[in-house]
Amino acid sequence: MPLSPHNVNKFIKRDASLLGRWWWTVDHGVLWCVLTLVSIGILLSFSASPCVAHRVGLPRFFFVKRHITMVPFSLILLIAVSLLSPVRIRKMALLMFVGGLIAMVMTAIFGNEVKGAKRWLVIFGFSAQPSEFIKPAIAIVVARLLERRQRDGLFPGILLSYAVVGVFLLFLLCQPDIGMTIITIFAFLTQLFIAGMPLYGVISVVAAGISGLVSLYFFVPHVTSRINSFLHPELSDSDQMYQIRQSLDAFHHGSWFGCGPGEGIIKRLVPDAHADFVFAVAGEEYGILMCLLIILLFAFLILRPMMKAYHNKDSFDVFAVTGLAAQLGGQAFVNMATALQLIPTKGMTMPFISYGGSSLLAVSISVGFMLALTRRRYGLVDR
């Protein structure tokens, strides 16, 4: 039976439970896409993580167990968030934003410094990256401000959205976290463009971003080093270029069909094979075809909710889902492009696939938000 609004309402009348209503209104395609990406992540965790754990003196399956343990929690969180109404999503996002900023202040004071950056806060023995959880909240808060401005031309929605994003970027640059800064700006620009901001406004933001990057190049040593290594790899002997060279060799070694599960070499040589360079592990052991599958899955995960949101024709849904999709797509692109040497080296996890508890939980919240907002097409969720 086709899943039309009329048929959905018939099913809901038979099963009026909360989960029943959720099941018949949620986007099954996005759910299957997420489950496929999570399955690929578990598969690649078994491939890449044992060698990394052995190299740092941990039990062989330490990272594998931690990754698999986080998967059920992330999926439960995704489903729980997707059950929320748009009103509750806005409230949750505001709490996440305020609470996340407080946590980032605590991180700056008490956080652990890793490779010159303070991004991690240890709470009751568990480490978390607060900025990961602010990122989806930013998209929702900005969408609400832009939607309010669209309804009321006198409401300073754009100015307030600049302030919200600006505060977050200030905290990010203090850590520093250049990669997340760029993704946040990209998602914000996308939302402004969709909201109909005049072209000169978008150009001004782009100009400010370029000016900021130029300043970082001249005043932040590790940014200078990474960009120089990217522009002149033949003159660089840095660790970043070592990992990049191994990554490119891995894709060449894997060719179309891969060298087989467990037969890869890059995971034995690259410290971040289970996280930042997991795409190279996929390319070496499972081939270019696996890489193309991953790219197609992310394309579906990004475009499908956007199409649903545009079909709903609700401004808040469109702005919010566009921002969330831009963040998700930007994060996946940076991870893949780094492994392929298309951009300067930037450590960033691949959503649902790389090892990393904070990232996995945060992207689950993002997709949960998108699922919740696109459920509304049948008019079953309160505004």
* pLDDT > 70: percent of the chain: 88
Name the band, by pLDDT with cuts 50, 70 and 90, for residue 116: low
Q: Are 320 and 310 in contact (CB under 8 A)?
A: no
Residue 56 in domain: yes
Residue 95 CB-density burial (10 A; 0-12 exposed, 13-18 middle, 19+ buried): exposed
Q: Is the pLDDT of residue 11 over 60?
A: no
For residue 13, pLDDT over 70 is answered with no
Sheet holding 112-114, edge to edge: 112-114, 117-123, 126-128
Q: Torsions phi, psi of 359, nearest 5? A: -65, -45
Considering the domain boundaries, does residue 9 fall inside one?
Answer: no
Q: The pTM is what?
A: 0.88
What pLDDT does 1 receive?
46
d(CA 121, CA 103): 8
User: What span, in angstroms and rounded, lies between the C-alpha atoms of 372 and 172?
Assistant: 28
Host H or E run for residue 128: strand 126-128
Range of the domain at 217: 16-378
Whether residue 34 lies inside any domain: the answer is: yes
| β-pair type (117-123, 126-128) | antiparallel
The verdict on residue 140 lying in a domain is: yes
pLDDT value at residue 380: 47
Q: Does 383 fall in a domain? A: no
> What number is the average pLDDT over the span 315-329?
93
In whole angstroms, give the CA distance from residue 248 to residue 194.
36
8 lies in a domain? no
Closest CA to 39 of 63, 79, 67, 59: 67
Q: Is the pLDDT of residue 340 over 80?
A: yes
- Give residue 208's Cα distance to chain centre: 23
Taking each helix axis from N to C end, the angle separating 239-254 and 315-339, rounded to the nearest 10 degrees, works out to: 90
Banded pLDDT at 228 (limits 50, 70, 90): confident
Whether 6 is in a domain gets the answer no
Task: List, in sequence order, the alpha helices (H) in the chain.
Answer: 5-14, 18-25, 28-55, 62-82, 86-110, 130-151, 157-174, 178-194, 199-219, 221-231, 239-254, 266-269, 278-312, 315-339, 357-374
Beta bridge partners of 123: 126
Q: Is residue 3 part of a domain?
A: no
Q: Residue 120 is which amino acid? A: W
Calpha distance 229→216 (Å, rounded): 15
Cα 353 vs. chain centroid, distance in angstroms? Answer: 11
Two structure tokens written together for 42: 């578990």
What is the DSSP secondary-structure string of 237-267? --HHHHHHHHHHHHHHHHTTT-S-TT--SHH
List residues bridging with 126 in a β-sheet. Answer: 123
Count up the domains in the chain and report the number.
1
Residues sharing a CB contact under 8 Å with residue 334, sequence separation 6 or more, in sequence order: 179, 182, 183, 343, 346, 348
117: pLDDT confidence band, cut at 50, 70 and 90?
low
The mean predicted confidence, pLDDT, of the chain is: 83
Rg of the chain's alpha carbons, rounded to an integer? 21
For residue 328, the model assigns a pLDDT of 94
Q: What are the two backbone dihedrals, phi and then psi, of residue 156, each rounded to the nearest 5 degrees? A: -80, 55
Q: What is the mean pLDDT of residues 137-151?
A: 92
